[in-house]
Structure 1
């Protein structure tokens, strides 16, 4: 999956330490979504799938500025429905936040998904995380009203038409 905003590629287990460094630079996220990541937990996340999905549906992608990893996205295609894509994780490097990079990557992703025939994009935010809720709301996502309790709080699903 290449990207017009910045070069992108599927990440592999060899990238886990670099992904971990980016993620650990975002402590606010982990205040609402513990525990802190490790290279081992990232390698597990790279292959984690919802029920009924296969690895060909999963895109664990890194976005780069030269050799520097500046954003990651975990995208599942055709989930939870055939016309829907699901973002399991999207995070930009802390020093790249607030400048529009995340929104530009997201707009490009939405355009590519729409061109491929997808009609909805879905995700979930951690209950209480003001930064995540503000970012996704700014980018056209709305809360569905569902609440999915977890071990530390709850996931609040959001979605938007594309």
Structure 2
């Protein structure tokens, strides 16, 4: 996804790629949503995990297919979007994370970003968006269903503490 294409669909935000230089800012944003991290680990979120969030990708894709966008209002990071281009198929875009800072939740920020992403995806010849959400997270389920995503398969992710986390695949075909 070209930054310029996404920026054109979301002109009220300043959007830029996030890098390791943005770790502290991203850590603060993710810490404003502590319940999300607790689903994966009982431990506090660390800068090392933020680094992994910025760089980790499936082995079968190139590092350049992963992009992490920061969304700014008044020079303040209000949301992050982590995507994988052309994954799991060529005309797909996989949403690894869309997180809105706690102070900006329930103000349509997430919906506006997701809608802008869908418009930018279509302009980039992407015809399907896919993601996985924590199955027990009913708020995430309602959010994505409101945007036209449909539930798919349930999978189980291994957790560091020898547990498993149920996740549900969701898909939205773009027309």
Shorter-normalised TM range: over 0.9
Distance 1:138 1:33 in 2: 25
Query: Map of 1:56-135 to 2, 5 A cutoff?
Result: 56-135=64-143
SS at match of 1:143: strand
Match of 1:48 among 51, 56, 77: 56
2:154/2:166 contact within 8 Å kept: no
Aligned-pair distance for 1:36? 4.0
After TM superposition, the structure 1 stretch with the greater mean CA deviation from structure 2, 140-149 or 45-54, is 140-149
List structure 1 segments (4+ residues) > 2 angstroms apart after TM superposition.
2-5, 30-37, 145-152
Matched, 1:26 2:26: no
* 2:168 pairs with 1:161: no
Q: Structure 1: which 5+ runs fail to align?
A: none
Residue segments in structure 2 that go unaligned for 5+ positions in a row: none
Cα deviations by residue, 1:75-95 (Å, 9 ceiling, x for unpaired): 100000001000111100011
Query: How far apart, in 2, do the equivalents of 1:64 and 1:49 lie?
Result: 24
C-alpha RMSD of matched pairs (Å): 1.4
Match of residue 150, structure 1, among 153, 158, 165: 158
Distance 1:148 1:110, change over 3 A: same
SS in 1 for 2:114: helix
